[in-house]
Amino acid sequence: MKKIVTVIGARPQFIKAAPVSRAIEGENNLQEVILHTGQHFDENMSQVFFDQMGIPRPDHHLNIHSLTHGAMTGRMLEGIERILLQEEPDWVMVYGDTNSTLAGALAASKLHIPLAHVEAGLRSFNTRMPEEINRILTDRVSQLLFCPTPAAMKNLSKEGFDAFPCQKINSGDVMYDATLLFREKARRPRHVELPEKFALATVHREENTTRHKQLMNIIRGLNDLADQCPVVLPMHPRTRKLTDGSGLPAFSGNIMVIDPVGYLEVLYLLQHCQLVITDSGGMQKEAYFFKKPCITLRKETEWTELVEAGTNKLCGSDPALIMEAFRQFTSTPPRFTGGLYGKGNASAIIARAFL
């Protein structure tokens, strides 16, 4: 029996872990121990995902959150190391590019425990983003690299990984697995009267929420777009805190600001919206899964294939570019072709790689 300690801590990781944990549970020779760092601690950002998606309850919870990047990563590293010494796993598995990811990777590496990275090989080529640093360092110390796309495989080859003591696997994207698994269970957000037609928006990245001018321009862009199409905006706690009494423009009356919602409610909003406006990496893919055009509030993306396919436009925080993208998508809806993210069996491929 091989023991895998899975380190998770943020909303996207809960979604990715759901189908993989199911696949691991279906293998007789694998045991999974889940370690939750606590990076997302609000009930609507964390617990609701475990409840809705049937993710096994964490075996360990570090409850580490609301700190600077260095302090958070350092405390997570210390806590994860303590758990790994206790559990003595055969593998550590991490997801994505958060502080929880990097802390789990460093802890495993320093204890000489083999590391598996789900969503390996992604690159935005913007090293000012904390996520870019996290994913590069995690890849470098991993022995199993599960790449969601051929482009991710190529990125690793260009960086010399073919000569490293590791195995690269083009597994496909586990978020696609999750969408296929849960889309029939999507449910309407409670106590929310949705417009008949609307755009779905999310804003949470540090580069957008901590820079006053960028956040101001994004609000202006959303307000301009809302004059043409109502906007539903589940508000990330960090963004809400920054916009309250900050001197930023008020949201238009056509923007419906709601509390964060669970994954099944997100799926409902994705099913019924006209388009997506986001700075989230995961939401860019989810828009594609539901055949919805996506306006990305960043200047670059790790999901370059979406831009190349014409379903995603990079607009940064420029209100004019946001409106231009909206008009283009409205007048000429993009064509969606399948197959960019595998066949929906990424989780099974990942589980079997540990056998």
Q: Point out the residues that are catalytic.
A: 204
DSSP per residue over 225-285, as a string?
Answer: HHTTS-EEEEPPHHHHHHHTTSSPPPPPTTEEEE----HHHHHHHHHH-SEEEES-HHHHH
Q: By C-alpha distance, which of 320, 153, 299, 145 is closest to 224? A: 320
Alpha carbon separation from 180 to 16, 305, 347 (Å, rounded): 12, 20, 12
User: Any idea which residue has 């009494």 for tokens?
Assistant: 245
Q: Residue 74 burial (CB < 10 Å; 0-12/13-18/19+)?
A: middle
Q: By C-alpha distance, which of 195, 187, 214, 192 is closest to 203? A: 214
CB neighbour list of residue 244: distance below 8 Å, 6 or more residues apart = none
Q: By C-alpha distance, which of 234, 175, 218 is closest to 315? A: 218
18, 46 Cβ separation under 8 angstroms: no
Structure-token pair, residue 259: 């509390």
